[in-house]
Amino acid sequence: MSKNRELLSKIGLRLDGRRADELRRIRCKLGVFTEPDGSAYLEQGLTKILAAVYGPHQVRGNRSKAQHDAAVVNCQFSMAVFSTGERKRRPRGDRKSTEISIHLRQALTAAIKTELYPWSQIDVYVEVLHADGGIYPACVNAATLALIDAGIPLKEYVCACTASLANNDVPMLDISHQEEIIGGPTLTVAALPMSGKIVLMEMSQRFHVDHLQKVLEKALQGCRDIKHILDEAVKSHIQDVGSSTGWANTT
Amino acid sequence: MPQKIHIRLAAHRVNASVAVNRRVPKIFTPGQVITEQNEFMRGHGTYEEEGFLKSSVAGVKEQVNNLISIRPLKSRYNGEVGDVVVGRITEVQQKRWKVDTNSRLDSVLLLSSVNLPGGELRRRSAEDEHMMRQYLQEGDLISAEVQSVFSDGSLSLHTRSLKYGKLSQGVLIKVFPSLIKRSKTHFHNLYVGASIILGNNGFIWIYPTVTNSEDGVGGFVQNLEEVVSRPERETIARLRNCILALTQSKMMLFDTSILYAFEESQKYSVPELLVPEAMVDVAILTQDRLSMAENS
Amino acid sequence: MFTTKSFIKKNKVGNYLKHVREHYIRDDIACGLQECESCFPVESFLSPDHENKCALFEFNHYIILDTNVILDQMDILEESILGNVIILHTVLKEVKHRSLPMYKRLYNIIDNPSRHFYVFINDHHKGTYLQQKEAELVNDYNDRCIRAACSWYINHAPKCRFIFLTDDSANRAKALQENIQSLSVSDYITNLNNNSSLTDKLSRKDYHAKDAAKDVFPNHLTNVELLTGIREGRLLQGTFRASRDNFLEGFVSVDSYEDQIIVQGRAGLNRAVDGDTVALELFREDDWVCPSDIVLEDEGVEDENVDDVISKENELKRETKKKRGAKPTGRVVGIIRRKWRQYCGILQGGIDGVYQLFVPADKSIPKIRVETRQAEFLRTQKLIVTIDSWPKHSRYPHGHFVRALGKIGDQSTENEVILLEHDVPHSQFSEEVLACLPKMPWIITDDDVTKRVDLRHLDICSVDPPGCTDIDDALHCRPIDPEKLEVGVHIADVSHFIRPGTPLDREAASRATTVYLVNNRIDMVPELLSSNLCSLRGGEERFAFSCIWEMDHNANILNVRFHKSIIKSRKAMTYEEAQLIIDDKTKQDSVAESLRNLNKLAKIMKQRRLANGALVLASPEVKIQMDSETMEPLDVEVKKLFETNSMIEEFMLQANISVAEKILEVFPDCAMLRRHPVPPSLNFDPLVKAGRHLGFEIKVDSGKNLAKSLDEAIKKDNPYLNTMFRILATRCMLQAVYFASGAFQKEDYYHYGLAVPLYTHFTSPIRRYADIIVHRLLAVICGSDATYPDLLDKKKTTDLCQNLNYRNRMAQYAGRASIAFNTHLFFKGKLQDEEGYVLYVRKNALQILIPRYGLECTLFLARKGETSNIFEYNEEDQTQKAGDVVLHAFDPVVVRLTLDSNNIQHEKFVLQLVKPVVDNFSVPGIDQTDDNDKKRKSPEPDKKKRKKKKH
């Protein structure tokens, strides 16, 4: 059946009414918790993510992990039991979440100025409340916001986005769950959008070389768009908080 | 004890913002170029790349001569010498304690930096080292002052004043360090019947006012038998809730704001103060009074 | 640019999963009207210049269609009278959901600018989007959306008028309430000013609904009942196949059952039409019957009288009840999915009035009742008709006329019918496709020369059947040292001209193969390529893809290489010419030498191949000599085979094998290969049985043994016997198919018939698309071309293979049908005695093969439905006995051949037995009878020619 489903109709709209180069709606909020040093909530379409950052703090537990020249970034990814259509217990540390945790760490480490915090540790906890495609990119984006909220120095935003090919021809941005199942290879890219550095790239299936370039280009464009959206959100948050405190302690 | 728990839908959440429209300084976000000139020195929250000075955190610019730094609105505690902190002992080592002070590395309280019972100028003996756990053990709360900052950024504390030392009965609140307004004194005996220590590191200690000055906080005695009267405890609880209300609305914490909040909160009972609407109400009223005081 | 309102859609599937989907509502969707100024301009075919002329409205208007109109009245829409039609996205989605073919047809119309159709995306438009109410049915919701869109249009463009067409009266009433002008399609069409041809095409879904009418069929169960029944296992789901010979019998193949399930009788079939997916109820085992051997035909009556059917049903019951070996039997209780398509056929004569009976050419399809006002004219024509509905009170399904193909019996009409019935794409190549062809005059550039190996100096020649213009292979052979020969197979480099992804490529992929009819060829690629640029004509420089071996004199391959090349064929020969050159010892030129070498090698290779267990199969192939002036068949003859035929075949096989090995090595996942599955041993039963009767043991446990036993099955006095065995063996085989190497296990790559582990098609790229793909793969390996995404996509390749296999099968059938038609044409009015052989022995008939014409006909021993009182049927031995004459399978006979043209659609040969002579049955041979050939009795058996043998 899925063979007959067109990801992009002839009129140029996707199943949910977006055009090929449109992101899903992104809504986000910083500082949703008081306990962690930084936290953020991000909705990308229906994918909903909570991220919390603790640190930098003294390395706890296994001290041998501590590095003399940089902070240790520790990521933990988990999915709520109710996050997918089927209610399912998801034990911590299963293969998928371990993999996403590692990928998250890779992307975040590339952005955090870890060298400023020797002997320290930064914990990033990400929880998926609702999974509707593009979980990893949403996690990266949420984690970025949480890191910024925690005041941890970053080189720049690290944003992630997926892209795929519709009808084997048109690159398509920000793949929803529905589009994920219908098929086609999905390219996930995490990048530092301002400098254009790619910090992580993953393909769900093989792409033909001819297509890779344009899909990658599209995904990077998506990262840049996301960065703009996040930047807006951060600025308005800072403005809000700053006004409440009366910009105290500032000149 | 049965208790009402309020769980709300996200849509019904109360907007806790009490922002007032004032001039908004320019906000920098990570990766943003601050200046393209390179005669400036880079301070905290900035880095240099390709000749540009860029921001690494989200916040506002602070410039001292040609030292530019970006201060994030929220971060771990960056200690400075002379700061008053409240901390918790995490470890007892040889000749020193490790103290969690909400900074990025645990602070150090050297055995030599404490006033041991029996006089200021007593020599430390090997026996004292064995006795360390008797003085302070893991989990104990202390108040202290930052003595110096080590090269790796961790703090060295001292309690060589009577006002510092082990904390006895009271309530601890953790807030973001940037919400604590720097002032001459961080120890306040509030007229309402409780005292408060506003640690620069964002740890706030509320405790019953001690009338007997001799007994003071300084020292290593903890009197847990002493019964704190109900009105006193209610006052402490109310103070706590007021501070929480101010925190939720991201308002600066100092003796005046806390006192104002305390006064404005009188129309609510202590438990009612945990209802979001009430908290915002208190915050707004406090904000109004503060700005009135400022303008007058 | 867009507003994002998100909403929640719940979808419940199976165990109640909750699906939440986003749905973006946009403000950038245009209405598509040219007159509109508020929407930003968008490409739209709507045009204010087009006029819809309907007598009911004195103003020009736009038409908005409901889903049911598109589903039922597609034939009307395809007529280019209605224009300025707005298709709502809601409708489009519903059409797609309900019927994919309809959706495709609709899209063809939408894509045609001259039809002025426009798709309005109402469900993402902020002005027309509606939220589904709680407990609102999807249908009601869609209707509401459609009406909302109509209202929106009316308000949006007050200057324009809109008419809403729907056949759903409830929806129409509601629309009128909401001040939307709406009509039913038939009202609209009948009042159209130029409607003459359209009214016939109106779908008759609800016509003739007499409540009083007696039900001819039992009710179908409702959808819900069907679904629960299937889920609970009470009902089975399967594909219905009607019997070609018996209109009251059919089979349902159900996945979980090995045997097909028999359904019989009116109530059993219950309005299922060939190809439908049906739900069926299985009977208890005591009620099972066996498949009938008898032939029953629906005579076709005017009214709804079913008496004749009842009598036939009874006959069928008698026939099937008593026997042993009953098979699972059931009855159809509901239709899950109709697979109605358009059918070719003619009108049944002898009926007056507007209601006519249509007789489809495909015998497995029931007759169809149509309404027409031009019956007189249509009776002379072949037509296309489609089924609209089959209500339970009607004996025949109701349908409507789509179009006429041409006069009955015309060759062009018949060709058209053959092509249509076999789904062969045969329209002219479109402009878009032709634009991809190279510009003439075509010259070889220096650039081409540097990229290819220049083989113009080699003595290459081609050998093909006479009259062949699409020459795709050529060969050469030369000694390179005393021990070694260099043999080259050069294949036309079609992939050089057909670049992937171009319209030309897509067209070729869809056609998949060139179809050869007797007097017509439906090219896969345009003629410029097939007969000129790609055809390796003698004396012309052409691009080729070469496969070059070094062989020793024992035909062992020492070395193989592939590259693109430029060649110049010295001569394009026919098989016969080549044979003459080889045989003519006086010829000593290089071409002759190389032909002789090739022939020598080929013989060794063939020997080796046969020793490996390759099967030599036979099927009677005939060639029809056409009169070039009148295009009438002059003679029918069996194709002659020369040594050179097998020489060419041998090298082509070798080239294919070598290429297959190469591409699989480099592309283990997506190489296009060809496999010939091992047939299940059950298939061989008739062969083994027939062999046993004649005293041969046919071993079928392996290809090698089969080949060996076939070789040994020889009788000196019946030279044709061996061929008969081979023909039978051929029928036991399965079809060879293309596949993508990633889709099967390695063991399954085997080619049973050729007895090689790997095989592909490389040597005929002009007429087969699979070869083009193989060429592309090989070109990548040689480094002379680059890959492209679809080439490496296992799934895409598998899909492509499916199309290729389907088209190949259809092309084969079409070719056969064409030969059959022309043979019929040849025999028209002729009366002939011919030698033939008994192929199968049936209960009331003999299946006779006439090798001279490659014909296979039925000799009825008794009238339909009766058992013969002359012949005695022995089921065990498969013999028919009459007196002392016993007819076995493979026995030679002489039969008289006439063509029965009573049924114009199904002209068939009528056979009468001449020899052996059976009293009261056989007829005398033509040469001895002068005018009494109508006499049934043959007084004297002819002894001279008696070939029958007893054992």
Cis peptide before C441 (omega within 30 of 0): yes
Interface of B with A in 125-154 (CB under 8 A): 152-153
Beta strand C355-360 with C368-371: parallel, antiparallel or unpaired? antiparallel
> CA-CA distance, A147 to C727, in Å (whole number)?
79
What would the mean pLDDT of C908-925 be, rounded to a whole number? 76
> Hey, is the C-beta of A25 within 8 angstroms of any chain C C-beta?
yes
What would the mean pLDDT of C919-928 be, rounded to a whole number? 69
Does position C544 have pLDDT exceeding 60, yes or no? yes
Question: Chain centroid to CA B225: how far?
Answer: 27
The structural domains of chain C, with segments of one domain joined by +, span 43-200, 223-408, 432-669+760-810, 828-937
Strand partners, C569: C460, C538
Most confident residue range from B148-157, C399-408, C419-428, C613-622:
B148-157
| SS3 state at B98 | strand
Looking at domain C223-408, its CATH architecture is Beta Barrel (2.40)
Q: What is the pLDDT of residue C729?
A: 83
Task: Assign B257 a pLDDT band (cuts: 50, 70, 90).
Answer: very high
Q: What is the pLDDT of residue C776?
A: 92
Task: Assign B19 a pLDDT band (cuts: 50, 70, 90).
Answer: low
Interface of C with A in 77-96 (CB under 8 A): 89
Phi, psi of C596 (to 5 degrees): -65, -40
Cβ contact A192–B105 (<8 Å): no
CB A126 within 8 A of CB A76: yes
How many CB atoms are located within 10 Å of the residue C446 CB?
7
Task: Assign B3 a pLDDT band (cuts: 50, 70, 90).
Answer: low
Q: What is the pLDDT of residue C951?
A: 40
Q: Which of the residue ranges A29-43, A217-231, C19-33, C805-819 would you say has the lowest mean pLDDT?
A: C19-33
Strand partners, C347: C358
Cβ contact B75–A152 (<8 Å): yes
**Greater pLDDT, C618 or C169:** C169
pLDDT tens profile A45-63: 889 999 999 989 988 877 7
Instruction: Write the CATH number of the domain with boundaries A3-250.
Output: 3.30.230.70
Phi, psi of B66 (to 5 degrees): -110, 30
* Structure tokens given for A106: 């890779």
- Residues 6+ positions from C282 with CB-CB distance below 8 Å: C236, C261, C328, C329, C330
Residues of chain B in contact with residue A110, where contact means CB-CB under 8 angstroms, are none
Residues of chain A in contact with residue B107, where contact means CB-CB under 8 angstroms, are none
Amino acid in position B275: V
CB A29 within 8 A of CB A36: no
- Residues 6+ positions from C812 with CB-CB distance below 8 Å: none
Instruction: Choose among B56, B104, B175: nearest Cβ to A55.
Output: B104
pLDDT tens profile C149-202: 999 988 888 888 888 988 888 888 888 888 888 888 888 888 877 666 677 777
What would the mean pLDDT of C384-404 be, rounded to a whole number? 83
Question: Which helix (H) or strand (E) element contains residue B42?
Answer: strand B41-42
Interface of C with A in 890-909 (CB under 8 A): none
Residues of chain C in contact with residue A27, where contact means CB-CB under 8 angstroms, are none
- Residues 6+ positions from C527 with CB-CB distance below 8 Å: none
> CA-CA distance, C485 to C476, in Å (whole number)?
10
Asked whether the domain spanning C223-408 has the same topology as the one spanning C43-200, the reply is no
* Structure tokens given for C158: 């007050």
Cβ contact A151–B57 (<8 Å): yes
**Greater pLDDT, C558 or C630:** C558
Q: What is the pLDDT of residue C698?
A: 81
> Hey, is the C-beta of C107 within 8 angstroms of any chain A C-beta?
yes
Interface of C with A in 580-609 (CB under 8 A): none
Q: What is the DSSP string of B185-245?
A: --EEEETTTEEEEE-TTSEEEEEEPPS-TTT-S-SS----SSPPPHHHHHHHHHHHHHHHH
Q: Which of the residue ranges A126-135, C298-307, C912-921 would you say has the lowest mean pLDDT?
A: C298-307
> CA-CA distance, A163 to A176, in Å (whole number)?
10
Cβ contact A148–B57 (<8 Å): yes
Instruction: Choose among B17, B49, B106: nearest Cβ to A240.
Output: B17
In angstroms, what separates the C-alpha of A53 from chain B's closest C-alpha? Answer: 11
Does position A231 have pLDDT exceeding 90, yes or no? yes
pLDDT tens profile C647-699: 888 899 999 999 999 999 888 888 899 999 888 888 888 788 778 777 788 88
Sheet holding C832-841, edge to edge: C855-860, C845-850, C832-841, C892-900, C908-915
Cβ contact B47–A113 (<8 Å): yes
Strand partners, C622: C638
Cβ contact A192–B31 (<8 Å): yes
Measured CA angle at C202 (ends C197, C203), to 5 deg? 150
- Predicted complex ipTM: 0.88
> Hey, is the C-beta of C792 within 8 angstroms of any chain A C-beta?
yes
Q: What is the DSSP string of C819-882?
A: HHHHHHHHHTT--EEEEEEEEEE-SSEEEEEETTTTEEEEEESS-TT---SS-EEETTTTEEEE
Phi, psi of C459 (to 5 degrees): -85, 85
pTM of full prediction above 0.90:
no
What would the mean pLDDT of C344-355 be, rounded to a whole number? 78
Q: What is the pLDDT of residue C324?
A: 62
Task: Assign C939 a pLDDT band (cuts: 50, 70, 90).
Answer: very low
Cβ contact C6–A25 (<8 Å): yes
Average pLDDT, chain C: 81
Does position A156 have pLDDT exceeding 70, yes or no? yes
In angstroms, what separates the C-alpha of A185 from chain B's closest C-alpha? Answer: 32
pLDDT tens profile C466-514: 888 888 889 999 888 888 889 999 999 998 899 888 889 988 998 889 9
Cis peptide before C916 (omega within 30 of 0): yes
How many CB atoms are located within 10 Å of the residue C1 CB?
7
Beta strand A170-173 with C872-874: parallel, antiparallel or unpaired? unpaired
Minimum Cα–Cα distance from A1: chain C residue: C97
Q: Which of the residue ranges B74-83, B225-234, C24-33, C928-937 would you say has the lowest mean pLDDT?
A: C928-937
Q: What is the pLDDT of residue C937?
A: 40
* Structure tokens given for C370: 């149509």
Task: Assign C747 a pLDDT band (cuts: 50, 70, 90).
Answer: confident
The structural domains of chain A, with segments of one domain joined by +, span 3-250
In angstroms, what separates the C-alpha of A17 from chain C's closest C-alpha? Answer: 5
Touching pair B, C by Cβ (3+ pairs < 8 Å)? no
> CA-CA distance, C312 to C268, in Å (whole number)?
14
Alpha helices for A70-194 (secondary structure H)? 95-111, 135-149, 177-182
C-alpha closest to that of C438 among C528, C535, C512, C565:
C528
Cβ contact A25–C4 (<8 Å): yes
Instruction: Write the CATH number of the domain with boundaries C828-937.
Output: 2.40.50.140
Cβ contact C22–A16 (<8 Å): yes
C-alpha closest to that of A145 among A35, A246, A236:
A236
Give CATH superfamily name and number for C43-200. Answer: 5'-nuclease (3.40.50.1010)
Cβ contact A58–B105 (<8 Å): yes
CB C368 within 8 A of CB C396: yes
Minimum Cα–Cα distance from B177: chain A residue: A37
